[in-house]
């Protein structure tokens, strides 16, 4: 693992690391913010999963999260959104498939299965790396994400309840089986058998997961001026599913806010406080 | 003037605008954050001048300033750092001269004088545009800047005391006549006559300006792990000059912090509070 850059920030540090991934068979980068409290011992942490077209860099430079994380003593990991490198297959005409669009699942289809194993990368390999190398509490970790990364955060939270104790999302894709972004990704990575798709669909998973959960509330923020709201995001589907599953959900709809990092920075402090409270 | 983008942010809005500059003879962009208080009337404002290689975008996306600006009810303008466009001359081998390096002065030397008039652009043209188009209080404005932009903020503050009532800076070039970045810029834009350089040197200007000032304290933050500290920044020269001039200065030196926007975001709230207090 090689340190690409490091900066003191709010009394803690933000650094970018590069490593060879055995799961994705390529070189990957992630950032980590360590709050000043790591000087006194291990701290809880959040992994923030970014959206389509993003790398680790978008959250790291634009989310404005580190002030509150430093105050509350929580670390934040920001991984990349797909495998990378010239040898990794891509759909160059698509911003929503291939590189920058790994969808946080393990692909099974030829061409994609060799490298696109983002679920195993996030849940296993990267988790092992950060817990081994930094002063983190593996039993006190949560997931947060934006858009495609909100899909990742919610689905991995439901699938790995022993690993993730808290979850929140901004503008998440909550029902990918029912929207164009999800159709395209699932068809490409998982194939035509739609019965397999529900294993990667938050609105389907919450119904199965109801007994496995730790009873923490889920926090979701959604902007009402988000151009993807009607066609791709459809938070009402997830709200309905949570009601059926008795999953506590705090869905906040915000007049005038869009899909950008300006929306994220406006409410990120509430998400950090939410995770700190759940992970106590 | 054309709006390039706009986003709701912390209850206010951040937007990017493009306009034809009569002073620079090219198309320019700037961003403006308007806090929610503009709904109740005009607000004070800060112009943030960025450093070498930057555009309006660096501060806008990376500084994390808008939370505090929304809370305290102050607008922030972020201009570009030089004229732009294929027809504008550049020194393509230099990151510290030509495009991205306008040094907030009016060039007098052939080749550069036609377009590089950043002092008049910031103080006159852009100021007129923003005051005419947005709900701002022209009598309650301050300057903040980073590195080359810290130089711009301090020098324009001293030269236009009736326009700017508050000033602060991160890692400013305080004595450009005495450091390599300044030598190169002043020689190129102003020529070999060094007696003209002091008109654009904060450490020289503070000595002349002592009777003209409004007695507000100047706030400067400087990281001690800044790689440019010893050779280019030299805050001790300005500290000494302020003492001679009876100019109140709060110079804060921060262990471990570098020259990046992670340093700026760590202390930007103090700068915003400083301006709000001075502009009251």
Q: Which residues of A touch B7 (CB under 8 A)?
A: 257-258, 260, 262-263
Q: Which residues of B touch A254 (CB under 8 A)?
A: 8
Q: Residue B88 is encoded by which pair of tokens?
A: 């504008």
Helix (H, G, I), strand (E, B) or coil at B128: helix
Please identify which of the residues A200, A226, A274, A275 carries the catalytic annotation: A226
> What is the total residue count of chain B?
280
Please identify which of the residues A31, A147, A166, A168 carries the catalytic annotation: A147
pLDDT over threshold 60, residue A147: yes
Q: Is B270 on the interface with A (CB under 8 A)?
A: no
Q: Is A280 on the interface with B (CB under 8 A)?
A: no
Closest chain A C-alpha to B92 CA, distance in angstroms: 26
Q: Kindly list the catalytic residues of B.
A: 147, 226, 259
Q: Residue A32 is encoded by which pair of tokens?
A: 């980590």
Helix (H, G, I), strand (E, B) or coil at A70: helix
pLDDT confidence of residue A214: 64
Stated as kind and residue range, the H or E segment containing B15 is strand B12-21
pLDDT tens column, B162-189: 999 999 999 999 999 999 999 999 999 9
What is d(CA A82, CA A29) in angstroms, rounded to the nearest whole number?
Answer: 10
* B9 to A266: CB separation less than 8 angstroms, yes or no: yes
pLDDT over threshold 80, residue A186: yes
Substitution target in B66, B265, B270 with the highest count of A β-carbons within 10 Å is: B265
* A266 to B62: CB separation less than 8 angstroms, yes or no: no
Instruction: Give mean pLDDT, residues B44-62.
Output: 98
- Provide the mean pLDDT of chain A: 96
Q: Give A18's Cβ-side CA count (13 Å radius).
A: 8
pLDDT over threshold 80, residue B101: yes
Q: Residue B273 is encoded by which pair of tokens?
A: 């509070």
Bridge-based pairing state of the strands B75-79 and B249-254: unpaired
CA angle B125, B126, B132 (to 5 degrees): 95
Burial class (CB within 10 angstroms; exposed 0-12, middle 13-18, buried 19+) of A91:
middle
The closest of B29, B30, B31, B33 to B8, measured between CA atoms, is B33
Q: With the C-alpha atoms ordered B265, A49, B53, B58, is the resulting torsion angle positive or negative? A: negative
Closest chain B C-alpha to A150 CA, distance in angstroms: 20
Cβ atoms of B33 and B26 closer than 8 Å? no
Helix (H, G, I), strand (E, B) or coil at B83: coil
Residue in chain A closest to B5 (alpha carbons) equals: A260
Q: Give yes or no: A226 in active site.
A: yes
Helix (H, G, I), strand (E, B) or coil at B5: strand
What is d(CA B31, CA B61) in angstroms, rounded to the nearest whole number?
Answer: 10
pLDDT tens column, A71-90: 999 999 999 999 999 999 99
What is d(CA B69, CA B71) in angstroms, rounded to the nearest whole number?
Answer: 5
Which DSSP state fits B216? P
Confidence category of residue B213, pLDDT binned at 50, 70, 90: low
pLDDT tens column, A206-221: 998 865 556 789 999 9
Residue A238: phi and psi, rounded to 5, are -70, -35
Instruction: Give mean pLDDT, residues B99-115.
Output: 97
Instruction: Give mean pLDDT, residues B104-117.
Output: 97
Confidence category of residue B107, pLDDT binned at 50, 70, 90: very high
What is d(CA A268, CA B10) in angstroms, rounded to the nearest whole number?
Answer: 11
Q: Which residues of B touch A171 (CB under 8 A)?
A: none
Q: Residue B27 is encoded by which pair of tokens?
A: 């198309």
What is d(CA A164, CA A124) in angstroms, rounded to the nearest whole number?
Answer: 12
The closest of B10, B71, B91, B14 to B48, measured between CA atoms, is B14
SS3 string, B198-212, reads HHHCHHHHHHHCCCC
Give B17's strand partners.
B3, B30
What is d(CA A104, CA A117) in angstroms, rounded to the nearest whole number?
Answer: 8
What is d(CA B126, CA B21) in angstroms, rounded to the nearest whole number?
Answer: 8
Q: Which residues of B touch A8 (CB under 8 A)?
A: 223, 225, 254, 256-258, 262-263, 266
Instruction: Give mean pLDDT, residues A115-122.
Output: 98
Cβ atoms of A170 and A150 closer than 8 Å? yes
What is d(CA B171, CA B135) in angstroms, rounded to the nearest whole number?
Answer: 30
Instruction: Give mean pLDDT, residues B34-53.
Output: 98
State the DSSP string of A204-232. HHHHHGGGTS--PPEEEEEETT-TTIIII
The closest of A118, A116, A33 to A69, measured between CA atoms, is A33
State the residue for tokens 């852009």.
B126
Cα B263 from chain centroid (whole Å) = 16
Measure Cα distances from A167 to A28, A124, A199, B36 in Å.
24, 18, 18, 30
CA-based R_g, chain B, Å: 17
Provide, for chain A, the percentages of residues in helix, strand and coil under a 3-state DSSP scheme, each rounded to the nearest 5: 40, 25, 35
Q: Is A4 on the interface with B (CB under 8 A)?
A: no
Q: Is B78 on the interface with A (CB under 8 A)?
A: no
Residue in chain A closest to B68 (alpha carbons) equals: A266
Which DSSP state fits B123? I
CA angle A173, A175, A178 (to 5 degrees): 115
Q: Residue A107 is encoded by which pair of tokens?
A: 């692909």
The closest of A128, A134, A156, A124 to A143, measured between CA atoms, is A156
pLDDT confidence of residue B209: 83
State the residue for tokens 């509430």.
A270
Cβ atoms of B71 and A266 closer than 8 Å? no
pLDDT confidence of residue B216: 87
pLDDT tens column, A216-268: 899 999 999 999 999 999 999 999 999 999 999 999 999 999 999 999 999 99
What is d(CA B94, CA B80) in angstroms, rounded to the nearest whole number?
Answer: 17
Confidence category of residue A37, pLDDT binned at 50, 70, 90: very high
pLDDT confidence of residue A216: 87
Instruction: Give mean pLDDT, residues A101-129.
Output: 98
Q: Which residues of B touch A259 (CB under 8 A)?
A: none
- Least CB-CB distance to A61: which of B10, B62, B66? B62
pLDDT confidence of residue A213: 59
């Amino acid at each position: 693992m090689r340190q690409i850059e490091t900066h003191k920030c709010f009394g803690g540090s933000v650094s970018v690391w590069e490593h060879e991934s055995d799961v994705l068979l390529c070189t990957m980068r992630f950032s980590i913010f360590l709050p000043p409290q790591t000087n006194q011992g291990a701290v809880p942490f959040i992994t923030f999963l970014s959206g389509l077209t993003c790398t680790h860099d978008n959250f790291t430079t634009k989310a404005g999260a580190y002030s509150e994380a430093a105050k509350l003593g929580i670390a934040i990991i920001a991984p990349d959104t797909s495998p990378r490198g010239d040898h990794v297959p891509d759909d160059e005409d698509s911003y929503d498939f291939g590189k920058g669009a790994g969808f946080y699942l393990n692909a099974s289809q030829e061409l994609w299965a060799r490298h696109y194993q983002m679920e195993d990368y996030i849940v296993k390999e990267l988790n092992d790396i950060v817990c081994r190398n930094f002063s983190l509490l593996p039993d006190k970790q949560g997931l947060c994400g934006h858009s495609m990364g909100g899909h990742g955060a919610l689905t991995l939270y439901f699938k790995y309840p022993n690993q993730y104790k808290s979850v929140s999302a901004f503008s998440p894709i909550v029902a990918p089986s029912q929207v164009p972004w999800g159709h395209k990704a699932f068809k490409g990575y998982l194939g035509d058998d739609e019965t397999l798709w529900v294993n990667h669909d938050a609105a389907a998973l919450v119904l199965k997961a109801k007994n496995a959960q730790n009873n923490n509330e889920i926090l979701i923020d959604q902007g009402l001026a988000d151009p993807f709201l009607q066609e791709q995001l459809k938070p009402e589907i997830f709200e309905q599913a949570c009601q059926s599953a008795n999953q506590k959900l705090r869905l906040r709809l915000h007049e005038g806010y869009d899909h950008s990092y300006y929306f994220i920075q406006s409410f990120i402090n509430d998400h950090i406080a939410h995770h700190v409270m759940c992970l106590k």
